[in-house]
């Protein structure tokens, strides 16, 4: 067995079971690029501060580049007995360049190293998610553009409420996603402080320059407190919280589209390319992708809960438990990016069944609230009067617009001939004018905002 990098004080090597149980290379090799980036910044700083020679630095930098090429060519041998990504790369560097490699870990611990790597990785991951969010937003805006005048029933309690324009509804999801991206970017700002140089927990007596490494790696500044630096995982908790909120939004979108694709609603038809069949029922065509978007939100929440639970009992500073933080993060990010991409693809592959939607609009008295506004009476009085009208319609199986002026006048003398300009979903929708409302002009403004923002032509 190879001597461990920490082997000096040990008389025995670890058992195979312990080695297998404690390794993290099987998953943290994901961090290789950022580990190399961090090591290069560290080596350059050590040389600048006179802690290592310039030729040492040069062979370290050259060796690390070579290792990165090997990894990317699939020629690097990841070894479980070398525990994690940091020690795999360091040991390989030592094999490759000899003595200078042994100086790289000067004024550094794996505790600050792993966090530096992880923060760099998370920063990139946030950019990836934000790009996928935008991609879905664009797909939704385009769907809105293609269905500009389409009126659909708006629901509260999943009961028919008021008529809305379909773009209005789709843009509600675009707004949610915009806040999701904002939350991730806020989180990145708070995350972007550099732990490198905190060493094991207490910092170092060597004359390092933490500002130099922080700058080189694109951080805002070094973290102020070395103990905080190696024990902090709130950046991960915040990241996964933001990610979970995004997942929840996508899950709600998934639920809506699954409902809309049902025979009962029949609002949308997903194309075959985003549907799957049944192994027993030959007629089935299921919206599985959006069901799985809904379903996978569960694991994203689970990943957050895993990390919250992981952190809840930990004393300062670094504890090995923290190694368990990687897999839930990797899983959460991979899952959310997948959910975003599939939702966008689904959005590009559905058609709205205009005729079917149109036919369904007369049901549910969607124009009742507009009728109450028409009366110009104290609202509670108007509510009562229109309630009586609806009651009459229900007993006679009529729409509000089917009531005669006599019927209406018997209920209230405040009704006049012009009432018919307020009845029916089309009339009703034309009456909306408040900022952010479903009136055609208001929705057009919203749509304009997004079209300009995303440069959609």
Instruction: State the catalytic residue, choosing from 26, 262, 278, 416.
Output: 278
Name residues whose C-beta falls within 8 Å of residue 269's C-beta, 6 or more positions apart in sequence. 261, 350, 351, 353
Interface with ligand ARG, residue 43, by CB under 6 A: no
Site residues for ligand ARG, 56-85, by CB under 6 A, read 84
Matching residue, tokens 């003595």:
99
Binding residues for ligand ARG, total number by CB under 6 A: 9
CA distance 448 to 141: 10
Give yes or no for a contact between 81 and 1, defined as CB atoms under 8 angstroms apart: yes
Smallest gap from residue 175 Cβ to ligand ARG (A)? 38
Interaction pattern, residues 280-319, with ligand ARG; x per rule: CB under 6 A: ----------------------------------------
Residues 91-130 that bind ligand ARG (CB under 6 A): 110-111, 114
**Residue 320 makes contact with ligand ARG by CB under 6 A:** yes
Q: Measured from the CB atom, is 24 or 162 closer to ligand ARG? A: 24
CB of 242 to ligand ARG, least distance (A): 22
278 catalytic residue (yes or no): yes
**DSSP string across 268-299:** EEE-GGG-B--SS-TT--B-HHHHHHHHHHHH
Position among 229, 322, 386, 423 found at the interface with ligand ARG (CB under 6 A): 322
Pairing of strands 221-222, 159-165: unpaired
CA–CA gap between residue 348 and residue 358 (Å, rounded): 22
Catalytic residue list contains 34: no
Report residue 146: phi and psi, to 5°. -75, -10
* Residue 352, C-beta contacts closer than 8 angstroms, at least 6 positions apart: 147, 150, 166, 267, 268
Question: Among residues 157 and 320, whose Cβ is nearest to ligand ARG?
Answer: 320
Say how many C-beta atoms besides its own lie within 10 A of residue 130's C-beta: 18
Q: Supply the minimum distance, in Å, between the C-beta of residue 10 and ligand ARG.
A: 14
Binding-site string for ligand ARG from residue 2 to residue 41, where x marks contact by CB under 6 A and - marks none: ----------------------x---x-------------
Of the residues 157, 273, 279, 457, which is catalytic?
Answer: 157
Closest to ligand ARG by CB, 36 vs 419, is 36
Residue found by looking up tokens 């050590």 in the block: 46
Point out which residues pair with 222 in neighbouring strands.
194
Is the Cβ of residue 322 or residue 342 nearer to ligand ARG in the bound state? Answer: 322
The first and second tokens of residue 374, run together, are: 């028409």
Rg (CA), the chain: 31
Binding footprint of ligand ARG on the chain (CB under 6 A): 24, 28, 84, 110-111, 114, 320, 322-323
Indicate which residues carry an active-site annotation.
157, 278
């Amino acid at each position: 067995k190879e001597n461990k990098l920490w082997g000096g004080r040990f008389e025995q090597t670890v058992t195979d079971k312990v080695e297998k149980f404690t390794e993290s290379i099987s998953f943290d090799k994901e961090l290789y690029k950022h580990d190399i980036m961090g090591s290069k910044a560290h080596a350059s700083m050590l040389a600048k501060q006179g802690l290592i020679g310039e030729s040492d630095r040069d062979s370290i930098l050259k060796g690390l580049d070579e290792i990165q090429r090997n990894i990317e060519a699939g020629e690097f041998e990841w070894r479980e007995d070398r525990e994690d990504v940091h020690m795999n790369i360091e040991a390989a560097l030592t094999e490759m360049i000899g003595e200078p490699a042994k100086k790289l870990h000067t004024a550094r611990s794996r505790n600050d190293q792993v966090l530096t790597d992880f923060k760099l990785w998370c920063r990139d991951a946030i950019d990836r998610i934000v790009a996928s969010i935008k991609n879905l937003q664009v797909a939704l805006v385009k769907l809105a553009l293609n269905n500009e005048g389409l009126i659909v029933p708006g629901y509260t309690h999943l009961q028919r409420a008021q008529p809305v324009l379909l773009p209005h509804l789709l843009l509600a999801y675009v707004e949610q996603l915009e806040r999701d991206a904002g939350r991730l970017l806020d989180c990145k700002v708070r995350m972007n402080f550099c732990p490198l140089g905190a060493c094991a927990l207490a910092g170092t007596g060597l004359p390092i320059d933490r500002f130099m490494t922080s700058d080189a790696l694109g951080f805002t500044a070094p973290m102020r407190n070395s103990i905080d630096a190696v024990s902090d995982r709130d950046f991960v908790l915040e990241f996964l919280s933001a990610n979970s909120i995004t997942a929840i939004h996508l899950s709600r979108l998934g639920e809506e589209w699954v409902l809309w694709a049902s025979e009962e609603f029949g609002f949308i038809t997903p194309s075959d390319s985003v549907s799957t069949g049944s192994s027993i029922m030959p007629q089935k065509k299921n919206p599985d992708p959006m069901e799985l978007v809904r379903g996978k939100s569960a694991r994203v929440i689970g990943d957050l809960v895993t990390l919250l639970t992981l952190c809840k009992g930990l004393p300062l500073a670094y504890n090995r438990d923290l190694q368990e933080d990687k897999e839930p993060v990797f899983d959460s990010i991979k899952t959310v990016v997948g959910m975003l991409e599939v939702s966008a693809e689904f959005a590009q592959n559905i058609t709205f069944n205009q005729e079917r939607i149109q036919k369904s609009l007369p049901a549910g008295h969607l124009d009742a609230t507009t009728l109450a506004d028409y009366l110009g009476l104290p609202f509670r009085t108007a509510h009562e009067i229109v309630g009586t009208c609806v009651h009459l319609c229900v007993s006679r199986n009529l729409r509000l617009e089917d009531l005669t002026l006599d019927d209406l006048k018997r209920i209230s003398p405040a009704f006049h001939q012009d009432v018919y300009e307020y009845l029916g979903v089309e009339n009703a929708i034309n009456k909306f004018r408040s900022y952010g409302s479903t009136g055609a002009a208001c929705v057009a403004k919203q749509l304009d905002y997004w079209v300009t923002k995303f440069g959609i032509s």
